[in-house]
Structure 1
Amino acid sequence: METVSIRNPGMTWDIAANIHFPPGFDAARRYPAVISNHPIGSCKEQTAGNVYGAALAEAGFVVIVPDASFQGASGGSPRWIEDAEQRVRDYRDVIDYLQRLPYVDPQRIGILGICGGGGYSIKTTIIDKRIKALVSITGVNFGRLFREGFSGFNPVGTLEAMAAQRTTENAGGEQRVDVFLPESVQAGETAGITDIDVLEATDYYRNRNPQSNSGTRMLFSHAASNIAWDAFAFAETLLTQPMMVVFGDKPGGFGAYRDGMEIYGRAASKDKHLVVVEGWSHYDLYDKPEPVGIALAKVIPFLKERL
């Protein structure tokens, strides 16, 4: 594995990324490549890298796993901005970088994203036809989620609060940084949280794979654009590339089940595949060997055939 810094023309900060290489890597060859994109609040060392990135590299792909701008080891200030359109720009900047690597075939690039990274990867595929195949792992449309649960089903009120907070910060007041998760599963249960996605996210980020670069937080005043954003806009006409959508059949509050069904039905692609992993949940697909194995048994042949 190699860690790289990416700064294309027009960028004012670096994107940090890990590149995972296939066994017996030969720099004189040209390989198919996959961008593996981490969830909201995550980082390149977690599921996108140490699970899916590692497995795809072992299967013969060059895999690049970037940290989001303003997060992890990537640059950008202020910190902890979660901006859906910036994520799409990040991924396209990473494609630019991949196409310049002498050991990557610029015509064989795919994209895979997990959770919010899945929704961001879908939107990137809609607008960037350099992507030849798409995989969404328990993907979530962050715009839809923000308009609903993340805003308490009060998107207009949330926009007004964001405007007031931005005014406060412009006048020198303290930033508001929202932490997505409770400190522990027990703390969440004590607070009355029952949603499977919130509790299992807490277990994953606090217990199963804690990472110092994984923020699980967001700068509130800079998140307004997400509320008016839609990962699936124009999918009926513009999402034409081969696509595989993977999610578990135990639905939770983040909505991967409903979003997966929606994008599968709406996408214009004639080469699209639905993988419902029975008996498993959103966060099981992050790192649990059995459901991840079921997913990869479908994903790897799909990407090999199309890339």
Structure 2
Amino acid sequence: MVETVSFRNKEVEIAGHLHLPENFNGENKYPALVGIHPAGGVKEQTIGHYAKRLADHGFVTVVYDSSYQGASGGEPRLLEDPTTRVEDARCAADFLTTLPFVDSDRMGVFGICAGGGYAISVAQTERRFKAVATVSAAPMGEGSRGFLGHLSPVAEQIGTLEMVAQQRTAEAGGAQPLYAPFVPETLEEINESTPDLLREGYDYYRTPRGQHPNSKGRFLLTSMDKMFAFSAFDQIPELLTQPLLLIAGSKADTKVFSDQAYELSKGPKELFVVDGATHIALYDVPEYVDQAIPKMAKFFTIL
């Protein structure tokens, strides 16, 4: 059962899907989950697939398009603002608390890819989330300041910020916005040296495998200053005391981020490695998703 819902993050209307358990009874009280989609993704893609499967295990689950993206409102379009993304998740929690069949004391959060980074970030300061799980976590701030766990030289980071500053000035004067792709936009951009994350990202986001008209696969270039200023992991040792489940593929080039989060966490934690899986394979390949979902469902029974 899926219902189309909406809620607000300040003045922005957020478009969501509410996944309900089979044999749902509105007179009962259910544990509830907030699901956060990957950067460039929308609620109909991998996050919606996970939401449906988790609802099958008895969890009321809400997923949504982030502010400025997909079917949600907000200008400028395709802005990737990590602080707003975290607030979207808080607003999703607000929404769940208004539903009479949700037990507000039994809420958790999960995310995939960048959504995993945002799930970790929001859980550090949102105590309504009693547990947090991630799949192929990739924190947007840490990821933007380097590549796959390798920090870029400071001079290179400053050069990027100088470029963003120039573009902001140009747009303030009437220039057209510029966009950067999250994944390659054409096959010609892919060669033998292309990392698996980007090669498989093309296959998921640019082909019928996972393609969706609301998922543009790119972001506003002037998002970069906000991304550079954001850290998803900075308060993990002190503030992330809730149970943490990190799911990563053994062949994922982003596994380094799950390893980092696991090492930083001082609370209850588990790193579940799916043998043979890559980052994108955990989006939709049954062999691997069929391992991740039962693990998450069992984990969230602590709610």
TM-score (ref. length: structure 1) = 0.93
1:118 aligns with 2:85: no
1:72 aligns with 2:73: no
1:292 aligns with 2:293: no
Residue of structure 2 aligned with 1:161, choices 148, 160, 163:
163
What secondary structure does 1:262 align onto?
Answer: helix
Residue in 2 aligned with 1:107?
105
The number of aligned residues is: 297
Residue in 1 aligned with 2:80?
82
- How big is the shift at 1:152? 6.5
2:51 and 2:219 map into 1 onto residues whose CA distance is 25
What secondary structure does 1:285 align onto?
Answer: helix
Residue in 2 aligned with 1:241?
242
Letter in 1 for 2:110: L
Residue of structure 2 aligned with 1:180, choices 179, 182, 185:
182
- How big is the shift at 1:251? 3.2
Asked if structure 2 preserves the Cα contact closer than 8 Å seen for 1:113 and 1:139, the reply is yes
1:291 and 1:64 map into 2 onto residues whose CA distance is 23
1:161 and 1:26 map into 2 onto residues whose CA distance is 54
- How big is the shift at 1:37? 1.0
Residue in 2 aligned with 1:206?
206
1:259 and 1:147 map into 2 onto residues whose CA distance is 13
Alignment of 1:12-23 (within 5 A): 12-23=11-22
Residue in 2 aligned with 1:301?
298
- How big is the shift at 1:193? 4.7
- How big is the shift at 1:69? 0.2
Asked if structure 1 preserves the Cα contact closer than 8 Å seen for 2:248 and 2:279, the reply is yes
Residue in 2 aligned with 1:136?
134
Letter in 1 for 2:44: E
CA-to-partner distance for each residue in 1:271-297, whole Å, 9 max, x for gaps? 211101111100000000011111112
Residue of structure 2 aligned with 1:147, choices 145, 148, 168:
145
2:190 and 2:8 map into 1 onto residues whose CA distance is 43
CA-to-partner distance for each residue in 1:209-235, whole Å, 9 max, x for gaps? 110011211111233121121100111
1:149 and 1:128 map into 2 onto residues whose CA distance is 28
2:152 and 2:183 map into 1 onto residues whose CA distance is 15
Residue in 1 aligned with 2:217?
216
1:287 and 1:281 map into 2 onto residues whose CA distance is 11
2:299 and 2:181 map into 1 onto residues whose CA distance is 36
1:24 and 1:17 map into 2 onto residues whose CA distance is 21
- How big is the shift at 1:198? 0.2
Residue in 2 aligned with 1:40?
39
Letter in 2 for 1:302: F
Q: 1:206 to 1:86 in 2, by over 3 A?
A: same
What secondary structure does 2:137 align onto?
Answer: coil
Asked if structure 2 preserves the Cα contact closer than 8 Å seen for 1:188 and 1:199, the reply is no
Asked if structure 2 preserves the Cα contact closer than 8 Å seen for 1:177 and 1:218, the reply is yes
- How big is the shift at 1:179? 2.1
2:300 and 2:266 map into 1 onto residues whose CA distance is 19
Asked if structure 2 preserves the Cα contact closer than 8 Å seen for 1:193 and 1:199, the reply is no
CA-to-partner distance for each residue in 1:151-184, whole Å, 9 max, x for gaps? 9752111111100000000000111111222234
2:121 and 2:223 map into 1 onto residues whose CA distance is 20
What secondary structure does 1:86 align onto?
Answer: helix
1:240 and 1:268 map into 2 onto residues whose CA distance is 7
Letter in 2 for 1:218: F
2:35 and 2:162 map into 1 onto residues whose CA distance is 35
- How big is the shift at 1:43? 0.3
Asked if structure 2 preserves the Cα contact closer than 8 Å seen for 1:116 and 1:141, the reply is yes
